[in-house]
Amino acid sequence: MTALLILFATAIAVLFAGLTKNRQFLQPIALAGSLMALGATAYDLLGGNPNPWNDMYASMFQFTPFALAFSGVTLLSTVLIIGLSGWGFRNLNETLGDNYGLILFSLCGALCMFSFTNMTMLFLGIEILSIPLYVLAGSQRDNLSGNEAALKYFLMGAFATGILLFGIALVYGATASFDLETIASAIGDGRHSAGMLNAGILLIIIGLSFKVSAVPFHFWAPDVYTGSPNLVTAFMATVVKTAGFAAFYRLFSIGFAPAEDFWSLPITAIAALTMTVANVTAIFQTDFKRMMAYSSISHAGYLLLAVLAIGTTGSDRALLFYTLTYSLATICAFGAYIAVSEPNNDGSFSAFNGLSKKQPLLAAVLAIAMLSLAGIPPTTGFFGKYFLFTAAFAKYPWLIVLAVINSAISIYYYFKIIIAMYFTREENDYVVSIPSGVRWVVLAGLLLIALLTFIPGSVYALI
């Protein structure tokens, strides 16, 4: 709760500071605010605050360790993304303040999605998260594909919201409550109308699948990811995805757990489809950002395994660990991508040719990020996959075999980058320099990846 208040205050402060001429203060303010929020979350999580204001707003927020840990993941991602922004947002002079403000407002929505105990709050959280993003996606006003991305994102998002809302209404109709605990006990007691409940759950699954871009509700994602400004894409791929899955998990583990027999089948199908379709499509991409879009869809498929594993000890931890490693690797990758593609205006794989000779550090970081996304030991991505797969293995062994085959397919496209950087002998004459923001962020990301490799227990034991 403290973190939420700090973020909100910082967002407003940045918005007003953006009206003045002193733009150089915007990034430090946003960074300081999100770092303070991160500190407050860590303080709460480690037990410093015995009663973290859980009784406010009729207890519709509960900042449980689960919520705090996921807040930590998204706050950390945001800190790193804001760290990159001195470079990545440099073209957005007039609207810089708005950009930071919108990112922080969006993050407030994510925090609501981690802590809701009531479906009203879930809905509000999703909307608070999404609306700033529609604006951010189109924040480069003179960029045609950016406008397309924003419009597409807005239309699809609004559509999904409608479906989600309808689902929530049906569940309310079936169980007479918005409160997760009450819904669960109503389902458990059999005091509900089964048909209406199932229809509601199905619509909620579809709505959330739109939000987390799971197949077959993913069509908006590649265009939106490609068209949006790079850092906004990084934000969507990390914070938004984490928030979507944490909310998914929370809703189904508390509210709909007794109805597992019904929802496990559609989610299994979505998970299997998501992994396979996204991985196979990613093979054919030639543009880094589009490849990352499909990669992020395929990770959504793996993350659904955590939802399926609800009820198994450690499924929440697996989700936490996976989202953290995935976010770190993605942000590192985007940092390197921004440094390579923006000055040279080329985002294809061949833009990375010979990067290992020009910028060994950047190449090494990007290579490690790719290995981690592919889940190759000993990078943290492996541990993320390992925890997820172990959690779901007992219930869904064949789905895990499919997931394993898919991780093998993913090597092919992640390694294209490594091949371009290290093995390709055709050079390009691109100049790649590392701005200091990028350097610090990728080094911090690398350090965290290394730490998670050697002491995976540190995060795993948080919740």
Partner 1 sequence: MSLLLILIPLISSVFLLLARPGAVRTIALVTTLANFAVSAFACMGFVGDGSFNHEFRLPWLAEAGITFRLGMDGVSLLMVLLTNLLAPLIVLSSYGKNFDNEPRYYGLVMLMLAALNGVFMALDGLVFYIFYELALIPIYFICAIWGGQDRIRTTLKFFIYTFVGSLFMLVSLLYVYLQTSLPAGTLAEAGATMHSFAWEDLVQVQLAPGAANWVITGFFLAFAVKMPVFPFHTWQPDTYTAAPTGGTMLLSGIMLKMGIYGLIRWMVPLAPEAMHTMAPVFILLAVIGIVYASIIAVKQSDLKRLIAYSSIAHVGLIAAGAMAWNKAGMQGSLIQMLNHGINVVGLFFIADLIERRLGTRTLADMGGIAKSAPKFATLFMIIMLGSVAVPLTNGFPGEFLLLNGVWNYNMWLGIVSGLTIIFGAVYMLRAYGLAVFGEANEATARFEDVSTREFVVLGVIAALVMVLGFFPGMVLNLTDGSVNRILGAVQF
> Is residue 146 near partner 1 by the rule CB under 8 A?
no
Other C-beta atoms lying within 10 Å of the C-beta of residue 195: 10
Site for partner 1 in 311-350 (CB under 8 A): 313-314
Mask of contacts with partner 1, 164-193, x by CB under 8 A? ------------------------------
Nearer to partner 1, 85 or 356 (CB): 356
Nearer to partner 1, 318 or 438 (CB): 318
> Is residue 280 near partner 1 by the rule CB under 8 A?
no
Nearer to partner 1, 300 or 452 (CB): 452
| Degrees to nearest 5, angle at CA 173 with 168 and 176 | 100
**Contacts (Cβ under 8 Å, ≥6 apart) of 46:** none
Report the residue from 265, 394, 447, 451 that binds partner 1 according to the rule CB under 8 A: 394
Burial category of 397 from C-beta neighbours within 10 Å (exposed 0-12, middle 13-18, buried 19 and up): exposed
| Minimum CB–partner distance for residue 258 and partner 1 (Å) | 21
The secondary structure of 168-212, three-state, reads HHHHHHHHCCCEHHHHHHHHHHCCCCHHHHHHHHHHHHHHHHHHC
Query: What CA–CA distance (Å, rounded) separates 138 from 448?
Result: 32
> What is the CA 246 to chain-centroid distance, rounded?
9
HSE-CB at 125 with a 13 A cutoff on CA atoms is: 26
SS3 287: strand
| Minimum CB–partner distance for residue 421 and partner 1 (Å) | 11
Report the residue from 265, 284, 412, 451 that binds partner 1 according to the rule CB under 8 A: 412
Stretch that binds partner 1, among 176-184, 219-227, 273-281, 419-427 (CB under 8 A): 419-427
# binding residues, partner 1 (CB under 8 A): 31
Rg (CA), the chain: 21
| Minimum CB–partner distance for residue 133 and partner 1 (Å) | 35
Q: Tell me which amino acid residue 245 is.
A: F
Query: What CA–CA distance (Å, rounded) separates 127 from 123?
Result: 6
Report the residue from 58, 158, 265, 401 that binds partner 1 according to the rule CB under 8 A: 401
Query: What CA–CA distance (Å, rounded) separates 85 from 91?
Result: 10
Nearer to partner 1, 209 or 356 (CB): 356
> Is residue 200 near partner 1 by the rule CB under 8 A?
no
Q: Which residues of 229-255 are buried (b: 16+ CB within 10 A; e: fewer)?
A: bbbbbbbbbbbbbbbbbbbbbbbbbbb
| Minimum CB–partner distance for residue 411 and partner 1 (Å) | 6
| Minimum CB–partner distance for residue 116 and partner 1 (Å) | 26
Mask of contacts with partner 1, 357-386, x by CB under 8 A? --------------x----xxx---x---x
| Minimum CB–partner distance for residue 255 and partner 1 (Å) | 23
Report how far apart, in Å, the C-alpha atoms of 175 and of each of 163, 185, 188, 206 are.
18, 9, 11, 20
> Is residue 443 near partner 1 by the rule CB under 8 A?
no
Q: Which residue has the tokens 């979350």?
A: 41
> Is residue 64 near partner 1 by the rule CB under 8 A?
no
Nearer to partner 1, 252 or 382 (CB): 382
Query: What CA–CA distance (Å, rounded) separates 200 from 206?
Result: 10
CA nearest neighbour of 403 among 313, 320, 300, 292: 300
Report the residue from 344, 390, 443, 450 that binds partner 1 according to the rule CB under 8 A: 390
Report the residue from 32, 415, 440, 446 that binds partner 1 according to the rule CB under 8 A: 415
* Site of interaction with partner 1 (CB under 8 A): 313-314, 371, 376-378, 382, 386-387, 389-390, 393-394, 397, 400-401, 404-405, 407-408, 411-412, 415, 419, 422-424, 456-457, 460-461
